[in-house]
Chain A
Amino acid sequence: EAGVAQSPRYKIIEKRQSVAFWCNPISGHATLYWYQQILGQGPKLLIQFQNNGVVDDSQLPKDRFSAERLKGVDSTLKIQPAKLEDSAVYLCASTSISGGINNEQFFGPGTRLTVL
């Protein structure tokens, strides 16, 4: 079974520029998450999708961050404009609602963003 795919793996931009990250979850996983992980901290949930609907975006800085999952499969997270404090690893995870271990999330390798 293929894992969660993310691209790009690394991105360097200057502040005030825009950037987009892509995630393709494990096939059949209805729930998709985006996390932000700042160096030395645990991942922080930004947004959770159930199919193509948003379940939780309470910690998403909506003035600059946006995310979509139009067809209920892959997802894009965008930052516009980026700030220095957005430098972090952006992790995508997915989970299957039915069956399996309760709340087991499968994470992708992440995209490391550096804002200069």
Chain B
Amino acid sequence: LAKTTQPISMDSYEGQEVNITCSHNNIATNDYITWYQQFPSQGPRFIIQGYKTKVTNEVASLFIPADRKSSTLSLPRVSLSDTAVYYCLVGGLRGGKLIFGQGTELSVKP
């Protein structure tokens, strides 16, 4: 399974766009890129998943370049409630193993 590297922490202010980049140089051909969000005292929650190019849903966008060795989670106009830890994971098998790294602790300030 591919190892991921992402910043330990990031700070932002309400209303700003936040971009969190994750490196996954050893991503395999059949690996998907998935991001989870975790609030204190809660389990992680799925945010978005992609394989290549760009994916957008109601809460975030995921940008994946052609070589797929990195990905960027984009959170538009963050609010205080977006303060959480964000995990980038890569994997390919449905029902398979997820390996969480340390994640990026995002702090949104007023």
Contacts and interface: CB of A to CB of B under 8 A. Distances in A.
Interface in A1-56: 4, 30-31, 33, 35, 40-45, 48, 50, 56
Main SS class of interface, B:
loop
Interface magnitude class on chain A: 20 to 34
Interface magnitude class on chain B: 20 to 34
Interface of A: 4, 30-31, 33, 35, 40-45, 48, 50, 56, 91, 93, 95-97, 101-110, 112
Contacts of A48: 97
Nearest to B42: A109
Interface stretch (B14-22, B44-52, B58-66): B44-52
A108 B100 CA distance: 16
B110 interface: no
A110 B32 contact: no
